[in-house]
Amino acid sequence: MDRLKISGGKPLSGTIPISGAKNSALKLMAAALLTPEPVTLTNMPNLADTRFLSQLLSTLGVEVYWPKGDATCHLNAAELTSTIAPYEQVRKMRASFNVLGPLLARYGHATVSLPGGCAIGARPVDLHLKAFEAMGADLLVEQGYVKAAAIHGLKGAHIVFPFVSVGATEHAMLAATLANGETVLENAAREPEIADLADCLNSMGAKVSGAGTATITIEGVEKLHGTTHDVMADRIEAGTYAMVVAAAGGDVTLTNAPVAALSAVNHALRNAGIIVDADKDARTLRIQRNGSKLNAVNIDTAPHPGFPTDMQAQFMALMSLADGTSIIRENIFENRFMHAPELSRLGANISVRGHEAIVKGVDALKGAPVMATDLRASVSLVIAALAAQGETEVSRIYHLDRGFERLEQKLTAVGADVRRVSAEEE
């Protein structure tokens, strides 16, 4: 199993290009199931998760042309051979469950495995299923599968989510595009990836309005056509590299950065004493820290436009070096502080109390062997390792491969000492 060996303490300098957003690309790929015409996605991130979903789509009969290393993915769902998404594939990645809505909307039936548990909490799909029931679907959960049918097609509905859910909002949007009548989603998630999905659907002939606000309206249409769509840049990747520079020090410019989507992260970084020069027009984000001590900053994770839960672990790594004590509250997912014990192995002073983590800044971190527990936790260890004295070895980095494209190459290009080592090399 591959590991990363990182020698820290080196300030960074140069440019890092930001890839397409994983969280957007996955839903855009599922949208290709809604039309028999070709869908081309550009700026596609080459990740384990996007490749997993391409394999599932192929199993359903979608023609997928996506050469290794290419940023353009061609999808053609003209003639599907199956509407069954098996457990063996859905279990690899929760976002695979999002094929259910498009299959149900277009074909009137689908059988999709439940995604199962997750390292950062249960994250149930009950809101997804209630939305489909509101649109007239008959559902049966049996032997770990959701069997869904809407023989006469889905119908428009007024759906009020009891709490904000990105996944349920996106999934209901996908299904509602081909429903008969108008669907209104209230208390909808407002993440930028939802607006990106709406832009793609509208370019396919859908009638979606209000994406990016708490109320989204979808007027169902009879059919959708093909399109070419550019996947938005990854705000989580951009925020992560910003924190890499903030922790290690240096002067790095992030290009193709979704500047408008990073206001909460940039605000937290500025409060910590980091120089952040954001240029929306040029789509660049310049991060500078040259020897200054970090300020302790408290954060509460919240749905967009609040501080993203997917940046919480990275910010905790940064705050472990701050002057003073930070309180980090995780309000989205339970069990999302599993990185805290691993950061402590590097010398961080972190205590967890329910949904709060109290981080007392230390003068320096020191390299040690650590183990990744999930995607965002794994990159928090990379951030800490780049700021630490000596060498850190990060194991179980397959988590990193799920969400960060060419991580070692991008870091090495700005002067980081990062090396991937396989078991065969030892």
Number of H helices, E strands in the chain: 14, 24
Strands 109-113 and 138-142, bridge-based pairing = unpaired
User: From CA 234, how far away is CA 20, in angstroms rounded?
Assistant: 5
Cβ proximity of 74 and 38 under 8 Å: yes
For the chain, the domains span 3-18+233-425, 22-230
pLDDT at 121: 43
When pLDDT is averaged across residues 246-266 and rounded to a whole number, the result is 97
94 annotated ligand-binding residue:
yes
3-class state of residue 83 by DSSP = coil
pLDDT at 374: 83
310 annotated ligand-binding residue:
yes
419 annotated ligand-binding residue:
no
User: Which of 283, 413, 342 lies closest to 14, judged by CA?
Assistant: 413
127 annotated ligand-binding residue:
yes
State both tokens at 7.
């020698």
State both tokens at 36.
């028999």
Residue 119 has pLDDT above 60, yes or no: no
Strands 73-76 and 39-42, bridge-based pairing = antiparallel
Cβ proximity of 20 and 258 under 8 Å: no
- DSSP secondary structure letter of residue 366: B
State both tokens at 112.
């999709």
Cβ proximity of 333 and 346 under 8 Å: no
Of 114-118, 185-189, 301-305, minimum mean pLDDT range = 114-118
User: Out of 78, 118, 260, 282, which one is annotated catalytic?
Assistant: 118
Q: Which has more confidence, 92 or 222? A: 222
Cβ proximity of 96 and 51 under 8 Å: no
Residue 4 has pLDDT above 70, yes or no: yes
When pLDDT is averaged across residues 339-343 and rounded to a whole number, the result is 95
pLDDT at 334: 79
Q: In terms of CATH architecture, what is 22-230?
A: Alpha-beta prism (3.65)
Tell me whether residue 422 is exposed, middle or buried, using C-beta atoms within 10 angstroms of its C-beta: 0 to 12, 13 to 18, 19 or more: exposed
pLDDT at 169: 97
Q: How confident is the model at residue 424 (pLDDT cuts 50, 70, 90)?
A: low
User: From CA 354, how far away is CA 275, in angstroms rounded?
Assistant: 33
Active-site residue flag, 73? no
pLDDT at 425: 62
pLDDT at 292: 87
Q: If you average pLDDT over every residue of the chain, what do you get? A: 94
3-class state of residue 188 by DSSP = coil
Tell me whether residue 426 is exposed, middle or buried, using C-beta atoms within 10 angstroms of its C-beta: 0 to 12, 13 to 18, 19 or more: exposed
User: From CA 311, how far away is CA 236, in angstroms rounded?
Assistant: 7
Residue 93 has pLDDT above 90, yes or no: no
Tell me whether residue 197 is exposed, middle or buried, using C-beta atoms within 10 angstroms of its C-beta: 0 to 12, 13 to 18, 19 or more: buried
pLDDT at 108: 97
Cβ proximity of 23 and 404 under 8 Å: no
Is 3-18+233-425 assigned to CATH 3.65.10.10? yes
pLDDT at 422: 85
123 annotated ligand-binding residue:
yes
User: Which of 311, 228, 297 lies closest to 23, judged by CA?
Assistant: 311
- pLDDT tens, residue by residue, 305-335: 999 999 999 999 999 999 999 999 999 987 7
Q: How confident is the model at residue 363 (pLDDT cuts 50, 70, 90)?
A: very high
When pLDDT is averaged across residues 15-30 and rounded to a whole number, the result is 98
127 phi/psi in degrees, rounded to 5: -65, -35
When pLDDT is averaged across residues 247-262 and rounded to a whole number, the result is 97
How many beta carbons lie within 10 A of that of residue 404, not counting itself?
26
23 annotated ligand-binding residue:
yes
Cβ proximity of 206 and 186 under 8 Å: no
Cβ proximity of 389 and 366 under 8 Å: yes
CA 329 centroid distance within chain: 20
User: From CA 193, how far away is CA 195, in angstroms rounded?
Assistant: 5
User: Which of 171, 166, 235 lies closest to 403, judged by CA?
Assistant: 235
Cβ proximity of 241 and 18 under 8 Å: yes
When pLDDT is averaged across residues 236-258 and rounded to a whole number, the result is 98
Q: What angle do CA 172, 207, 165 make, to 5 degrees?
A: 25
- pLDDT tens, residue by residue, 121-163: 445 789 999 999 999 999 999 988 999 999 999 999 999 999 9
pLDDT at 117: 45
Cβ proximity of 148 and 105 under 8 Å: no
383 annotated ligand-binding residue:
no
CB-based contacts of 283, cutoff 8 Å, min separation 6: 233, 255, 256, 257, 258, 259
363 annotated ligand-binding residue:
no
CB-based contacts of 38, cutoff 8 Å, min separation 6: 74, 75, 76, 226
3-class state of residue 322 by DSSP = coil
pLDDT at 145: 92
- pLDDT tens, residue by residue, 389-422: 999 999 999 889 998 999 999 999 999 999 999 8
Give the orientation angle of helix 100-107 with respect to helix 22-31, to 10 degrees.
20
22 annotated ligand-binding residue:
yes
